[in-house]
Chains A and B, each alone.
Chain A
Amino acid sequence: MLNYSHHKHHRLSLFDGVNELFLLLVSLLCVYPFLYVFFVACSDGASLALGQVTFLPKGFQLLSFQYIFDNPRFNVGTGLINSFLYTLGGTAVALFVTYITAFVLSRKRFVHRHWIMRLFIITWVFDAGIIPQYIIYNAFSFVDNPLVMIIPGAINTQFLIIARTFLLGIPDELEEAAFIDGASDLQILFRVFLPLSTTILATVGTFYAVSIWNQYLIPQIYLKSDKYRTIQQVLKNVVVTDGASDTTFVNVTVGDVTLNQHNLKAAAIFVTMLPIVLVYPFVQKYFKKGVLLGSVKG
């Protein structure tokens, strides 16, 4: 009996050890490719050509980053600036409109809340397709107009549902008390609800920012001029489209360091994902909250 329980205890801790090690490996495997890109970007071209880069950079240099920014023909600088502006402007507008809409649609006094919400959901599930959308956006002159990244998509139904679900959870008594004190709807919104909504604003704001930063299809359809390109489009052109022919980048020598095309491509990939990776540690708890709020059935 004693022997048995000792044996059982031993087996359980072996399970824990193997399990924890395995999951740790899985999670590192998830992020290893991102690190690999960084190692490639800052290794020297010669070591790279010999296939010597797997875990850490070899022949460390940071000139590849300087090179892609210094050469305007890659559009990396323009792409980054554009993406930043679209993300900032788009997130600000979307967050404001989504929040006030969610506020009204969560008020029981607002008799139209049900049918308006239903229309949001139906148009979300029923995909009109990119061509009818193009015809309408074109009628509002959004073609080759950077505002296409900011205005028409300012309400994402999924994020509207998340915000509304949250606001529905705020007890009615708070609003009633403010009403008795003679507060108007706007005062209730700004003085009662807004201070309670910092978490949900951070959650929805982060979701918007990430989705605008990562957006590929909309700029690809609507923004035709090079000067409006986003970093995602730039990346696609210099890395994937070029993957077969390898013509965009050629080997260059800066000082005594050789940079080859893989250094430069990896540098482009790295700067595209860097903003997300940098803010991720600070906003990941909001991501988690958003997923769970989004899965609440309304």
Chain B
Amino acid sequence: MKAMSSHPAANKRTLWERIMRDIKRNRQLYLLIIPGFLLLVLFKIGPVGAMVIAFQNFRASRGLWGSQWVGITNFERIINDPYILTLTKNTVILAVLSVVVVFPIPIIFALFLNEVKSKRLHGFIQSMSFLPYFISAAVMVSILSTLLSPSSGLVNNLIRASGGKSINFMSQPEWFRPLYVLLEIWQTFGYSAIIYIAAMTAIDPALYEAAEMDGANRWKKMWHITLPSIATSVIVMLIISVGNIFTVNLDRILIMYNPSTYSTADVIQTYVYRIAFQSKGFPDYSYSAAVNVLKSVIAFILVMGVNKIADKAADARLF
């Protein structure tokens, strides 16, 4: 210990030598990590660095280095922009609906699917139910738009047949949220159920046998054995969805919304997208980047926070 601290130069050389020796010994590993490391630095860390434009008055012609620095001016503008409140409200409402309405459905589905004893039927139902997860947002919204078409869609045909008047669902703001949530359920319930179903297959059959001896019926077994056995998975999934409160299905909204539904459909990410890529005049990159920075910082803290909670509550880190 004393010898090491009295010869700092020798110590440094040793460290350098150690690194060189490690590179030499594992040179193929170092070689193999190069593409992945470059992708990480350039296209994952790079954009995080470019977030500094939120503190600039960014002009594409001047670039990242030449643009004028303006401190927190952009963030002050956010506070005084009444539309930001609407955007935040719309974003959070969609997320809360996803937790309250969408979240319980795969649990209920998994509980009842677990009661299906025929392996083939079980597999068939499960396969059919998670197919929509792999279908693109463009196809899902196109199908919705076909089914809801005011002139010839199946839904409006039924409404007219029963004496009602056609509804132009896709262009009415009050219909946006129900339709978004409907697509969310359709696309995710089968997929989310996979995790619960896997947890259920791990339940010891002896528990059910013991309950049967005590005279428990089907409902009692579902309630007192199956449900408590998946409690950990349920808590973890719930925590994840709370952490994702600022995550929306951006593709779906971009394809589904139109100016007539902005009052309910416009969220932080779509607003940022429109300012940057669809504005008629001069795109205000820095302002929309500032909006995104604020959103990302809050979302990051939320996710890291819930990860800690999940760690403590369920002994299950998410990553």
Contacts and interface: CB of A to CB of B under 8 A. Distances in A.
Interface of A: 8, 11-12, 15-16, 19-20, 22-24, 26-28, 30-31, 33-34, 36-37, 40, 48-49, 51, 54, 97-98, 100-101, 103-105, 107, 109-112, 116, 119-121, 123-137, 140, 151-155, 157, 161, 184-186, 189, 210, 213-214, 216-217, 220-221, 232-233, 235-236, 239-240, 243-244, 246, 260, 262, 265-266, 268-269, 272-273, 276-277, 280-281, 284, 287-288, 291-292, 295, 297-298
Contacts of B132: 30-31
A130 B273 contact: yes
A131 B218 contact: no
Chain B: interface size category:
35 or more
A151 B277 CA distance: 22
Interface of B: 22, 26, 28-29, 32-33, 35-37, 39-40, 42-51, 53, 58, 64, 109, 112-113, 115-118, 121, 124-139, 141-143, 145-147, 149, 151-152, 154, 157, 160-161, 168, 170-171, 186, 190-191, 194-195, 198, 217-218, 250-251, 254-256, 258, 269, 272-273, 276-277, 285, 288-289, 292-293, 295-296, 299-300, 303-304, 316-319
A273 B46 CA distance: 34
Contact of B128 (A15, A28, A110, A273): A28
Given A30-B132, A221-B277, A240-B255, A22 B154 contact: no
B39 A97 contact: yes
Given A128-B296, A291-B194, A104 B136 contact: no
Contacts of A19: 112, 115-116
Contact of A30 (B35, B190, B292, B296): B190
A8 B58 CA distance: 74
A269 B64 contact: no
Contacts of B28: 184-186
User: Which of A109, A110, A112, A136: most chain B Cβ within 10 A?
Assistant: A136
12 contacts: A26-B129, A28-B128, A30-B131, A33-B143, A109-B26, A127-B295, A129-B295, A152-B42, A240-B138, A244-B258, A272-B136, A291-B195
Contacts of A287: 130, 133-134
Contacts of B288: 131
B46 to A, nearest CB: 4
Contact of A24 (B121, B127, B131, B135): B121
B36 A97 contact: yes
A130 B268 CA distance: 12
A233 B138 CA distance: 8
Contact of A216 (B47, B136, B145): B136
A154 B42 CA distance: 12
Nearest to A49: B152
Contacts of B128: 27-28, 30-31
